[in-house]
With several copies, the nearest count.
Chain A
Amino acid sequence: MAVMNMVDALNSALDNELERDPRVVVLGEDVGRDGGVFRVTQSLLKKYGELRVVDTPLAESAIVGASLGMSLNGLKPVAEVQFDGFTYATFDQLFSHVARMRTRTRGRFTAPLVVRFPYGGLVRALEHHSESPEAFFCHFPGLKVVAPSSPYEAKGLLIAAIRDPDPVIFMEPKRLYRAIKEDVPETPYIIPLGEARVVQEGSDVTIVSYGSMLQSCLEAVKLVAGAASCEVIDLRTLTPWDERTVIDSVGKTGRLVIVHEAPRNCGLGGEIAATIQQKCFYKLSAPIARVTSWDIITPLPKMETRHFPSVSRIAKAIIETATLQ
């Protein structure tokens, strides 16, 4: 055990897997000599050499396209895209090929690759550096999508993602990179994909979130502790998401608040609400609420706290949902 922040934990996961499995390759812009702009890949180049820790030219689409090729010929590439806003260039490769390879060869070829990138706002970043593109990846069949919410979670989920036989989009909440420290084993361990985690039990209202917003939810829950007993669920895997755990919880509470950083329209919150209203129709005592960023272009840092869900906005939604008769 060691005390790690999320960057350390992710680095440890990569280190473990590079060591364990000679087929694992880490690639991306500045992941080698520089150790990654957030230092997630720090010191890996020295340890594993430049064939396995690969500084690529600046071309996200080719990074993912080449990763697919690598994965078809025996490697397990873990590609880094430097920031959320630069993943759009990878969509063509992801949707046209990565997600389809297993289907298109009837299982002869598969794409056991990981694309990881820092996502989300509230770190006063430049334009295009504060996006939450999860819904895009979730909408396209064939990809798995993961977003951890703490250092311990990050390591276990990343190792699971690397060992997964399917392509996994791994979204790292950059706001949490250095914000939380906790005990994390130095040896490898796995948190299975597809299983949500009940972070806190409660009886009045269910809160579903993931990634960096989970921490905001926990703060909000503390704020409203006197007024509402909250059950907080960390989704962890966004596709396939753990319907069972959410259904069970809503079965108990009858109320649901979903919180994410992405814009509302066609976001993952819509999918969860649509699914739960259908499967828990007779159990719901109040409309399902979504707390999200607005359906606008992410504003520059001066106004970002007015855009992304704040603790107070979340708290307000919890109280409203919990108390509605």
Chain B
Amino acid sequence: MVFRSLARFSVNYLQVLDEHGQIDARHAPKLTPALVKHAFDAMVLGRAFDETALALQREGRLLTYGPGKGEEAAHAGSALALRKGDWIVPSFRENTAYLARGYPPELLFEYWMGDERGQKMPKEHKMLPVAVPVSTQIPHAVGIAYAAKLLKKNEVVLTYFGDGATSKGDFYEALNFAGVFRLPVIFACINNQYAISLPRERQSAARTLAQKAIAAGIDSIQVDGNDVFACYRATQQAVERARKGEPTLIEFYTYRMGDHTTSDEASRYRSAKEVARWAKRDPISRLSKYALGKKLWNKQHEQKIWKLARKRISDAVAKAEAIGTQPIEDIFAYTYSQPTPRLREQLEEARKEAV
């Protein structure tokens, strides 16, 4: 005898710093000058890493590489809202997040140069290695968060993934687990509008990606992903919620300024006009406008930041390229905790091979 509404939902959007570098104080996080500086440094370092990586790739000194240009605010803003003891479970485009946490850039270069030794995760970093198969890392974040909860570790886990990743079952299964077990996890969707050539609108008929959280009964928000303050603020709130056992999905609405990777030609599937429109929303110049306006630093100082960042990156390249050849033992060493008899035999065979 009824036709009634059972449940209602809404999806909200947050922007703090607008394209002119003006902030909305009501929603702003506590912006100490140190924080602003730290965010700017990280974004610049990430951009410098990208530029160098692209140049190296053109010279054949690096494997296929997927630049993060344009997404630095989302990566840095979210990473900086975490504590040292919190976890990051990355996808593959978040070098800026690594760098924001003080991860050694030389290790990133080693990895992207095709050397396994770059995967030796330093003890002090709670980060998983790059996950290439899209979306498959998201359940790991849920498991890590489960362990944190059970072992009462007070850790929050943030996992990155793209707009494309939201079409995969792993994403959804993980969200659902987090909702059921009330886990301290943050699902950070970097919606850069493309999954290789597929535009966001054809990835899903959902109006927003944030609303996908409704399916798992968890909270979500969409933020301006080119606004480092909004990214920081939303993550900070999600961290607070996480510490109370409530997961959150954050959609960072941004844009992939470069090609998907160095093997891609984005001009095959998107217009220069569209790219130019987004160039105006560049996250680094937006923050620069704010800082210069607030007189947190001047132009000269800003140039120094850039110079230092580039120096740090070129030092890292030099280190990475000086690593030398990998011993053959090394590719056998980590298959199991102890070499099996068969692997010992195969290693012998491999050793004998003339190189």
Contact = CB atoms under 8 A, between A and B. Distances in A.
A265 to B, nearest CB: 7
B355 interface: yes
Contact of B335 (A23, A32, A141): A141
A57 B140 contact: no
Contacts of B116: 103, 106, 299-300, 302-303
B170 A126 contact: no
B52 interface: no
Nearest to A312: B354
A295 B341 CA distance: 11
Interface in B107-121: 111, 113-117, 119-121
Nearest to A64: B139
A105 B119 contact: yes
A59 B173 contact: yes
Interface string B125-151: 000111111111111111111111111
A307 interface: yes
A66 B155 CA distance: 16
A294 B343 contact: yes
Interface in A75-121: 75, 77, 85-86, 88-89, 92-93, 96-97, 102-110
A125 B64 contact: yes
Interface in B84-128: 87, 89, 111, 113-117, 119-123, 128
B332 A166 contact: no
Nearest to B147: A73
A74 interface: yes
For B153, B167, B177, B336, the residue with the greatest tally of chain A CB atoms inside 10 Å of its CB is B336
Interface stretch (A48-56, A149-157, A196-204): A48-56
Contacts of A106: 116-117, 119-121, 334
B353 A61 contact: no
B337 A165 contact: yes
Given A102-B335, A295-B342, A69 B146 contact: yes
A142 interface: yes
A300 B106 CA distance: 16
Interface string B311-355: 000000000000001101011111111001111001100100111
Contacts of B148: 73
A295 B83 CA distance: 39
Contact of A72 (B143, B149, B196, B198): B143
A71 interface: yes
A67 interface: yes
B154 interface: no
Contacts of B170: 61-62, 65
Nearest to A34: B197
Interface in A220-242: 240
A189 B169 CA distance: 39
Given A59-B177, A61-B173, A29 B143 contact: no
B297 interface: no
Given A102-B337, A109-B121, A301-B114, A72 B331 contact: no
A59 B167 contact: yes
Given A65-B142, A66-B146, A265-B342, A127 B130 contact: yes
A161 interface: no
A62 B139 contact: yes
A11 interface: no
A58 B336 contact: no
Given A55-B198, A106-B119, A302 B173 contact: no
A272 to B, nearest CB: 12
Contacts of B304: none
A47 interface: no
A103 B167 CA distance: 28
A299 B331 CA distance: 6
Given A55-B198, A74-B151, A300-B111, A294 B120 contact: no
Given A85-B133, A125-B63, A306 B146 contact: no
B303 interface: no
B345 to A, nearest CB: 9
Pairs of residues from A and B, 5 with the lowest C-beta to C-beta distance, nearest first? A69-B143, A65-B139, A301-B114, A73-B147, A62-B173
14 contacts: A30-B197, A57-B167, A57-B173, A58-B134, A58-B198, A58-B203, A61-B173, A66-B142, A69-B144, A92-B136, A102-B334, A144-B336, A243-B342, A303-B331
Given A34-B197, A296-B343, A303-B330, 18 more contacts: A30-B198, A56-B180, A68-B143, A69-B144, A70-B144, A73-B155, A75-B151, A103-B335, A104-B129, A106-B334, A108-B123, A127-B130, A165-B337, A240-B342, A294-B350, A296-B346, A297-B335, A302-B113
Interface of B: 63-64, 87, 89, 111, 113-117, 119-123, 128-151, 153, 155, 164-165, 167-170, 173-174, 176-177, 180-181, 195-198, 202-204, 263-264, 268-269, 325-326, 328, 330-337, 340-343, 346-347, 350, 353-355
